[in-house]
Amino acid sequence: MLRAYRFALDPTPAQEQQLRSHCGAARFAYNHMLALVKANLEQRAAERTYDMPEQELTPSLSWSFYSLRNLWNQIKSDIAPWWSENSKEAYANGIANLATALSNWSTSRAGQRRGRAVRFPRFKTKRARPSCRFTTGALGLVERDRRHVRLPKIGIIRTHESTRKLARRVEAGAARIRSATISFERGRWHVAFSVELLGDHTQRHGRRHRRAVVGVDLGITHLAVLSTPVPGVSDEQGMVANPDHLEKAQKQLRRLQRQAARRRGRDKRTGATPSARWLHTQAQINRLHARIANARTDGLHKLTTALTERFETIVIEDLNVAGMLANHRIARRISGAGWGELRRQLTYKTNDRGGTLIVANRFYPSSKTCSNCGAVKTKLSLSQRIYHCESCSIKIDRDSNAAANLAALAASAAATSSPSCGATQNEPDGNPQKTSTAGSGYRHGKSESDNAA
């Protein structure tokens, strides 16, 4: 089992320069080898226009990582006489990224890759996010105070936070560090360790009684609605308030962005350099976005940790977030909620704690189904916030009804081994568009985006 442990760094000015140098070295190797590949392809294409036979064309370059790295080692002293100032891992990382990008483009063009078509790799600019990965060399944690890490060529760097969570596992022999990735994001340097967990990595929390199941219905007005209220996390109805960090910062963001628009920024057409005041305003904007992102991540971690510690089984929906973002009226609210990050955290935290995460089918009618009698409505508009069942005359909040149906889905998934119940982590069998009008609460229904309100 692989896990990533990410720590913020507090490098000295000299160490920060070394970090930037390594990231720049990875970018340089990527761009130079990409230029050679493009020149080779263009030369062969030009020769074909003269009807030259294939065997007489300029020999093609191999796009494998090992071939590109061997070619780099042959020419690095001529094109980069300063290469010894950085770790060899920096150049290898840039070449490995290029090999992966070329492979993705090749398989996509041949129709062997699912999803959208992949474009040909482009050159990395200096404005791209600095990043570099180390796989060998002296890398790891420093045991003296659990506040330092060691990186190849750079040495020992102090961390902004304690590394004890990872250090305890490494010292106990329950984890092995495979690689380290440095990156600059949100105005701060970070290091992320890729760790292989050895043996039984699940954490059993026997100190707290864990209840059986909870259904989680995600939304915008409320970040989540739980089928079972959790004290300190939700209110008495199971509603988890949406902090709306991004929406609350819109006034300040607009003011700063208007201020930046009045100052001289970068202009690629004229080559104008930005003014010092424009750079100062951009730094303020970046810091504000960093605070928003950090506050959102912190809130999601607290919510997902509380759920995984208190419940054995968690049921959520497989929402079509990309489709919902096409609606410009709610796209910003959906992005600010962080539904994808919440699901990602629930996935690995339930695994770590020995729990189960059940993902309901995207077409499961959680809001259209009555949680009391199981009747399914044909239509249910987003404006109807109270669910009124004509069969049993029950009236219940729309989101609470959906959360209750998701919780009931766990029992149906456990009672059958067939994935057709629409509540497994794999894609369900059968036709997901087939709609039932009565019966138990784990049938498929028409696609609904009612959680977006």
- Strand stretches in 245-400, DSSP E: 311-317, 356-360, 386-388, 395-397
**pLDDT confidence tier of residue 202, bands split at 50, 70 and 90:** low
The whole-angstrom separation of Cα 363 and Cα 420 is 12
The whole-angstrom separation of Cα 403 and Cα 366 is 8
Consecutive H or E run containing 241:
strand 239-241
The whole-angstrom separation of Cα 100 and Cα 113 is 13
In this model, does residue 205 exceed pLDDT 70? no
**Is the Cβ–Cβ distance between 210 and 400 less than 8 Å?**
no
Closest C-alpha to 406, from 269, 218, 237, 280: 218
Specify the pTM.
Answer: 0.79
**Is the Cβ–Cβ distance between 68 and 33 less than 8 Å?**
yes
The whole-angstrom separation of Cα 31 and Cα 224 is 45
Consecutive H or E run containing 93:
helix 88-109
The whole-angstrom separation of Cα 238 and Cα 31 is 52
CA-CA-CA-CA torsion sign (315, 319, 321, 324)? negative
Q: At what angle do helices 276-310 and 250-261 cross, to 10 degrees?
A: 160
> For 209-242, how does the pLDDT look when each residue is reduced to its tens digit (9 = 90+)?
677 899 999 998 899 999 889 888 888 888 999 9
In this model, does residue 445 exceed pLDDT 50? no
**Which amino acid, 23?**
C
List, by residue number, the catalytic residues: 217, 317, 399
The whole-angstrom separation of Cα 131 and Cα 169 is 26
DSSP string, 169-225: HHHTTSEEEEEEEEEEETTEEEEEEEEEE-S------TTSPPEEEEEEEE-SSEEEE
Closest C-alpha to 223, from 238, 207, 208: 238
Which pLDDT value is given to residue 200? Answer: 62
Distances (CA, A) of 268 to 234, 273, 274, 276, 332: 50, 9, 11, 17, 29
Tokens of 276: 């010092």
Q: In b/e form, how buried is each residue of 362-386, taking b as 16+ CB within 10 angstroms?
A: bbbbbbbbbbbebbbbeebeeeeee
Q: Name 3's bridge partners.
A: 195
- What is Dmax (Cα atoms) for the chain? 81
In this model, does residue 315 exceed pLDDT 70? yes
- Lowest-pLDDT choice from 24-38, 105-119, 127-141, 206-220: 206-220
> For 374-432, how does the pLDDT look when each residue is reduced to its tens digit (9 = 90+)?
888 888 887 888 888 888 888 888 888 889 989 888 877 665 644 434 444 433 333 33
Which pLDDT value is given to residue 395? Answer: 86
The whole-angstrom separation of Cα 407 and Cα 451 is 16
Which pLDDT value is given to residue 415? Answer: 59
Classify 337 as helix, strand or coil.
helix
In this model, does residue 452 exceed pLDDT 50? no
For the chain, the average pLDDT equals 86
> For 232-276, how does the pLDDT look when each residue is reduced to its tens digit (9 = 90+)?
888 888 899 999 999 999 999 999 999 999 999 988 888 889 999
**Is the Cβ–Cβ distance between 1 and 196 less than 8 Å?**
yes
In this model, does residue 24 exceed pLDDT 70? yes
How far is C-alpha 324 from the geometric centre of its chain's CA atoms?
18
Task: Summarize the confidence of residues 332-348 as an average pLDDT.
Answer: 92
